[in-house]
Structures are given as C-alpha cells and as structure tokens.
Amino acid sequence: MIQDQPVNVTIVQVGQDASSAEVSMIDVAVAAFGLTGVIMVAALVAGVAAGALFIWYRSKRAITIIEERGHQHNLFRA
C-alpha cells in the first residue's frame, strides 16, 4: 500500500540575459602573460643592470698588461 505524498514542482526559467561575455585570443594571451611577464621583465632588468655594472667595472681598470703599461708593446721592458 503506497501512501500518497504531495508533489512539489519547481519551475526553473533560463533566460538569454545571463550569457557570458566573449573572450578573444588577445584577452587570453594578456592573462597568460601576467606572472610570466613580470618574471621576464624582472630578469631583463637584472640582466641589463648586471651588464652595466660589468662594463663600468671593466672600464675603470686595465684589461691587459699592454694597456697597463700605457700601450707599450715591448713586453721585455720591466
């Protein structure tokens, strides 16, 4: 003997108003380069700074013995 239970009906209406915005390939590329782009820019700045420091350091000192002796090519001179 089956007892009668009340039936609850729920009506759901799906409208066209809740559609999502279109995402283009450029939007995806910009979003993908967020953290990666920051890391790449930081590496670029660090490389340029290291190169500038290296050039500055080497420009203050003679690179070879010939430059140290005032461009005298006589290596037997003491």
CA distance 75 to 66: 8
Q: Is the pLDDT of residue 33 over 90?
A: no
Contact in structure between 72 and 66 (CB atoms under 8 Å): yes
Q: What is the pLDDT of residues 34-50, one digit of tens each?
A: 888 889 999 999 999 99
Domain spans in the chain, listed from the N-terminal domain onward = 24-68
Average pLDDT over residues 21-43: 86
For all residues of the chain together, what is the average pLDDT?
81
The secondary element (H helix, E strand) that includes residue 1 is none
The total number of residues shown for the chain amounts to 78
CA distance 72 to 78: 11
